Amino acid sequence: MFFETLHTNTFVLLGALLLISGVLVAKFSTRLGLPALVLFILIGMLIGSDGLGFIYFDKPEVAQVIGIFALIIILFEGGMQTKFATVRSVIVPSISLATIGVILTSAIVGYVAFLLFDITLLEALLFGAIVGSTDAAAVFASLKERNIKAKMGATLEAESGTNDPMAVFLTLSFIELILFPETNLWTLIPSFFWQMGMGIVVGIIVGKLASYSINRINLESSGLYPIFAISFALLTYSVATTIEASGFLAVYVSALVIGNAELTYRYSIFQFHEGFAWMAQILMFIILGLLVFPAQLINITVIVNGLILSIVLMLLARPIAVFLSTIGMNYSFKEKVFVSWAGLRGAVPIVLATFPVVAGLDNGQLFFNVVFFIVLTSALVQGSSISIFAKKLGLTGPKKDTPHHSLELISMGKANAEMVQYQVHETSAIVGHTLRDIQFPNRVTISAIVRNEKLISPYGETEIMEGDFLYILVSRKYKADLKKVLEKKKEGSS
């Protein structure tokens, strides 16, 4: 019994140390100029069997399950944070990049892999499919705190949120063609349209159901609402995959629907999922790092060929795919160059690289090692230079305004009231007016104003200024009326 307890305590201690290390890495990754995912992976490699030897892990099946679960959480959080109004203007190029772009990238990288390795053409195309898509976790994390031009950020986020299904479809299709040569390629095409179409349908239906349920069901504690929301993310994926639709696409679409709806306890839900997504990233990348044996990476074949494929991917395949798939879509040359460079690879290719290993393909382990090398190269080279490229190309936008303060509230579930946070923009009709002059609806109280990081106690003669963060206590019955007042524009503003 003592040794069983000791083993359990050691496991819990190790888990705590890994999470603490992950949080500290996330804190200092920006200062070091490195994407956090690289450091998370290095932690996994450090404590693995070829490092300090704390953990021996060689279960690609387990890593695959953990990776899929983590990607669901990350895609859901990213989708909720995405404003549909912003995405709407780039939906066509994003879908083109997520489909045509992935196919072109996969084909070019696959052909080069065919020339480099002693493998069949189908195996080479499988390799290309694995690295063909950008990674939502890497892109969302890299753009979150950077002041990239809104159009560029929306394009990259929408592409990374919707291109995973194409990469998954191509990967599974090529594995099936390799394992079962008698499979007819043309029978896979209807399957693709079914997966994409039904993925969107399931995402919309479950997203609307989730939004309605969150707003209509009065829970005893505000802490239950974020858990309620995440349960719909898991439900979306499971329903979609059960009917052989794209689970990842369904999750992202449902998150868009939920995130752009009026939600009860919106900020509690968003803050919970932001933290949960970080935890998912930390654990996923550490697990993927554990799955790698550095001794296998320090191999002349892996290093040389991996470096060649990385250069081809970054400087040839991705740019060709971007330029061809955005023809006639109102993107300047500089914008296309930036989108080409910011197509980060991350967790998705590594997770997909476990599929050939689990399927027992002869070159599965070789694929995994080379893909891992490519992901590290992409994260180190591209991920650390996104801001530099944006600045050099003149594609930086206004600094993102994020309040560095919080307002904690006791649960008001039974009071049927809610605290709303609103940032005042220059085009808002309430700018320059005093609180006394603004026609707020009934049951509305301006509880606090934060201006230039200072808390202001509001009263009737307080004048609203651009950039103010208003914290407004409102009865849910009058929330829609409050929204109309806050979103009213100045005369002459578009």
pLDDT in tens, 231-243: 999 999 999 999 9
Q: What is the per-residue pLDDT for 301?
A: 79
Alpha carbon distance, N-terminus to C-terminus of the chain? 71
Q: What is the per-residue pLDDT for 82?
A: 79
pLDDT tens string 412-450 = 455 566 777 788 887 888 888 888 888 888 778 888 888
Q: What is the per-residue pLDDT for 30?
A: 60
Q: Does residue 89 carry a pLDDT above 70?
A: yes
Which of 193-207, 393-407, 437-451 shows the lowest per-residue confidence on average (mean pLDDT)? 393-407
Q: Does residue 351 carry a pLDDT above 80?
A: yes
Q: What is the per-residue pLDDT for 4?
A: 46
Q: What is the per-residue pLDDT for 415?
A: 57
Q: Which residues contact 365 (CB under 8 A, 6 or more apart)?
A: 296, 357
Q: What is the per-residue pLDDT for 207?
A: 94
**Cα atoms in the Cβ-side hemisphere of radius 13 Å centred on 458:** 21
Q: Does residue 32 carry a pLDDT above 70?
A: no
Note every long-range contact of 123-129, with CB atoms under 8 Å and residues 24 or more positions apart, other chains counting. 123/174, 123/178, 123/361, 123/363, 125/170, 125/174, 126/171, 126/174, 126/175, 126/178, 126/356, 126/361, 126/367, 127/367, 127/370, 127/371, 129/167, 129/170, 129/171, 129/173, 129/174, 129/352
Q: What is the mean pLDDT of residues 139-161?
A: 75
> pTM of the entire structure?
0.78
pLDDT tens string 51-80 = 777 777 778 888 888 888 988 998 898 888
Which of 32-41, 192-201, 202-211, 258-267 shows the lowest per-residue confidence on average (mean pLDDT)? 32-41
